[in-house]
A and B are shown apart, each in its own frame.
Chain A
């Protein structure tokens, strides 16, 4: 059976060039990067080079990059690290209603320990308004955490505008207000530059960039003080203890280098495939809704609600035809958990339940799009044939069995 992978926002395959770059660090260059001897220094050189490459991906200085285990740890370290360092100045944080679960989780935990969290709305287009951020800032606000691009619908948030706002306030003497952005989905898919964004912290994950799972980074602007969360070692300039995962870090560096080099080509390719896919879906399938602003979004991603059916059944139907996609909704133990992101757009439970994310990658082809359109049309027809909601919505009853 043909297999088409359209879940690149979940993870990407490791690029063969990345595998090649990391392999020596799993064999002959096995040293601990903290060791003083030859083997250690070999590993250290690999980590240092990777740090320069990852820094270049986001326009940062190498010493501003902290390697860690991935996007979730980066978001936890950024939010909790700043919160703990700034609690004396205030206990209020501003964020959005559509952050990744890792950010949402740490916000919920802080709230339980007495912090106040303002979660800004995203309206029907999935975008936070800078004016809402301005209005939400209080005397005791110490952190704004706003993702750069959403993981389910791909909408790009006005982080640069918020960054300008924070700089403006800083110029007026506001010294303890920091801006964090989760750029896990955005990096490698759009230009990400910490100077243009004006952010103080920025989260990255390697496995969305054709590198392995288990490694990521947090950009921490020089001069930003935060409390280290994993302690007991001097690694990463006392910012994150634990022996560096050298081979993974090297892989991340190589993947970042390739992302910079191939950004224009990858962006153009995925955008063209995505747009052709969306045009095909519109032509073939009725009663669909595109979720999120279709201009201000990542080029590789499409999120569509198929009315009257549920995402999980559609996902499995597609998987049985070889097409891999994802849905943000889950029905667990009889309780419905429609995607919080789609719900935040003001959609009904039914629409949120029927939402599917298609995320394209650099190696997808036109044939992948054609095959997926055929499989998707069949799957939607198949499930709507079973759906009482669909039959009730028809003006004339369909053929009866």
Chain B
């Protein structure tokens, strides 16, 4: 049902927790199922120097948070803005159809964070 990559993110989440010196924060909630994702970034110039996350919800939501921060750390804001839902799902070794909303929530949270970074 879930890939070994996804399970590994669950067992060893990357950069989990609130970031004290973050200068960008965003949070999105899926109003239907109640899943929550918070994203913290430290952005200097146009580069994402560090990223971390908090998540509540089903397994793919937690794994998407972990995979996303691993992916964006070190990226420019412009490159991060180009990440799509499919990229995140690929990084997790795929997601079952009925769980793809988890990747959608992660990308929405990223977009909200990047918007905040531009302000």
Instruction: Let me know if B16 and A320 touch, CB within 8 A.
Output: no
Give the chain B neighbours of A310 by CB distance below 8 A: 56-59, 62
Give the chain A neighbours of B71 by CB distance below 8 A: none
Instruction: Let me know if A401 and B98 touch, CB within 8 A.
Output: no
Given A333-B98, A333-B101, A389-B56, CB of A313 within 8 Å of CB of B10:
yes
How many angstroms from the CA of A335 to the CA of B54 in the assembled complex? 21
Give the chain A neighbours of B13 by CB distance below 8 A: 382, 385-386
Interface hub of A319, A332, A388 (most chain B Cβ within 10 A): A388
Is the C-beta of A312 less than 8 angstroms from some C-beta in chain B?
yes
Q: C-beta contact mask, B11-45 vs A, less than 8 Å → 1, else 0? A: 10101111110000001001011111010000000
Q: Which residues of B approach A to under 8 Å, CB–CB?
A: 2, 7, 10-11, 13, 15-20, 27, 30, 32-36, 38, 52-59, 62, 65, 97-99, 101
Given A316-B7, A336-B34, A382-B13, CB of A400 within 8 Å of CB of B58:
no
How many angstroms from the CA of A100 to the CA of B99 in the assembled complex? 25
Give the chain A neighbours of B101 by CB distance below 8 A: 333-334
Complex: chain B residue closest to A354, CB-CB: B56
How many angstroms from the CA of A308 to the CA of B56 in the assembled complex? 8
Instruction: Let me know if A335 and B32 touch, CB within 8 A.
Output: yes
23 residue pairs of the A-B complex, CB under 8 angstroms, read A310-B58, A310-B62, A312-B59, A316-B59, A320-B7, A321-B11, A331-B33, A331-B57, A331-B99, A332-B98, A333-B97, A333-B98, A336-B32, A386-B13, A386-B56, A387-B55, A388-B36, A388-B38, A388-B56, A391-B18, A391-B54, A397-B18, A400-B20
Instruction: Let me know if A309 and B56 touch, CB within 8 A.
Output: yes
Give the chain B neighbours of A165 by CB distance below 8 A: none
Interface of B is mostly: mixed
Give the number of chain A interface residues (Cβ < 8 Å): 32
How many angstroms from the CA of A383 to the CA of B20 in the assembled complex? 20
Interface hub of B10, B19, B99, B101 (most chain A Cβ within 10 A): B10
How many angstroms from the CA of A321 to the CA of B10 in the assembled complex? 12
Q: C-beta contact mask, A303-339 vs B, less than 8 Å → 1, else 0? A: 0000011101101110111000000000111111000
Complex: chain B residue closest to A309, CB-CB: B56
Given A313-B10, A316-B10, CB of A401 within 8 Å of CB of B18:
yes
Given contact pairs A335-B32, A386-B16, A389-B36, enumerate 10 new A-B contacts (beta carbons under 8 Å).
A317-B10, A331-B35, A349-B34, A383-B62, A386-B62, A386-B65, A388-B56, A391-B54, A401-B19, A401-B52
Give the chain A neighbours of B20 by CB distance below 8 A: 400-401
Instruction: Let me know if A385 and B17 touch, CB within 8 A.
Output: yes
How many angstroms from the CA of A317 to the CA of B98 in the assembled complex? 21
Instruction: Let me know if B56 and A387 touch, CB within 8 A.
Output: yes
How many angstroms from the CA of A385 to the CA of B56 in the assembled complex? 10
Given A388-B54, A401-B17, CB of A313 within 8 Å of CB of B11:
no
Q: How far is the CB of B13 from chain A (nearest CB, A)?
A: 6
Q: How far is the CB of A342 from chain B (nearest CB, A)?
A: 15
Give the chain B neighbours of A398 by CB distance below 8 A: 17
How many angstroms from the CA of A382 to the CA of B7 in the assembled complex? 13
How many angstroms from the CA of A383 to the CA of B65 in the assembled complex? 13
Given A331-B33, A331-B35, A333-B101, CB of A401 within 8 Å of CB of B15:
yes
How many angstroms from the CA of A320 to the CA of B6 in the assembled complex? 11
Instruction: Let me know if B16 and A388 touch, CB within 8 A.
Output: no
Q: C-beta contact mask, A367-396 vs B, less than 8 Å → 1, else 0? A: 000000000000000110111110100000
Instruction: Let me know if A317 and B65 touch, CB within 8 A.
Output: no
Instruction: Let me know if A312 and B55 touch, CB within 8 A.
Output: no
Interface hub of B15, B53, B65, B99 (most chain A Cβ within 10 A): B99
How many angstroms from the CA of A320 to the CA of B10 in the assembled complex? 9
Give the chain A neighbours of B97 by CB distance below 8 A: 333
Q: How far is the CB of A380 from chain B (nearest CB, A)?
A: 13
Q: How far is the CB of A122 from chain B (nearest CB, A)?
A: 24
Q: How far is the CB of A297 from chain B (nearest CB, A)?
A: 28
Give the chain A neighbours of B16 by CB distance below 8 A: 385-386
How many angstroms from the CA of A333 to the CA of B56 in the assembled complex? 16
Instruction: Let me know if B33 and A334 touch, CB within 8 A.
Output: yes
Give the chain B neighbours of A391 by CB distance below 8 A: 18, 54
Give the chain B neighbours of A313 by CB distance below 8 A: 10, 58-59, 62
How many angstroms from the CA of A317 to the CA of B7 in the assembled complex? 8
Interface hub of A320, A331, A335, A397 (most chain B Cβ within 10 A): A331
Give the chain A neighbours of B52 by CB distance below 8 A: 401
Q: How far is the CB of B79 from chain A (nearest CB, A)?
A: 23
Identify which of B18, B30, B53, B65 contacts A400 (C-beta below 8 A). B18
Instruction: Let me know if A335 and B2 touch, CB within 8 A.
Output: no
Give the chain B neighbours of A388 by CB distance below 8 A: 27, 36, 38, 54-56
Complex: chain B residue closest to A399, CB-CB: B17
Interface hub of B27, B33, B98 (most chain A Cβ within 10 A): B33
